[in-house]
Amino acid sequence: MKLKPGCAEEYRRRHDALWPELAALLRESGISDYAIFLDRGSNSLFAVQKLGPGFDPEALRRHPLMRRWWEYMADLMEVHPDKSPVEGELELMFHLP
């Protein structure tokens, strides 16, 4: 994902005040141990999540609460027309278990 320039502190502030109902939805959907990192040089965001069995990303994307969060965050990030964040796939280059 990618932040718009000058939006890092507001992005952090909004996540520090994450809506309790959104945190519950993420957990109920099978997401745990969720962290988002920022590369300040490129404004790129890198999210790491542990996903439980049966996690359905499409169901989460369709959920009205998730869509409301996207709308709330759209002014800070690069987004698609439906306000979902622009995301890219990352290639695993190294893993030390």
φ and ψ of 82, to 5 deg: -85, 5
Closest C-alpha among 25, 91, 33 to residue 64: 25
73: which 2 tokens? Answer: 């965050």
Per-residue pLDDT of the chain (97 residues; tens, 9 = 90+): 999 999 999 999 999 999 999 999 999 999 999 999 999 999 999 999 999 998 999 999 999 999 999 999 999 999 999 999 999 888 989 989 8
Q: Is residue 54 part of a domain?
A: yes
Helical (H) or strand (E) element with 67:
helix 64-73
Indicate the number of domains in the chain.
1
Q: How many CB atoms lie within 10 A of CB 21?
A: 11
Q: Is residue 12 part of a domain?
A: yes
Cα dihedral 73/7/33/84 (nearest 10): 30
CATH of the domain at 46: 3.30.70.100
Active site residue 95: no
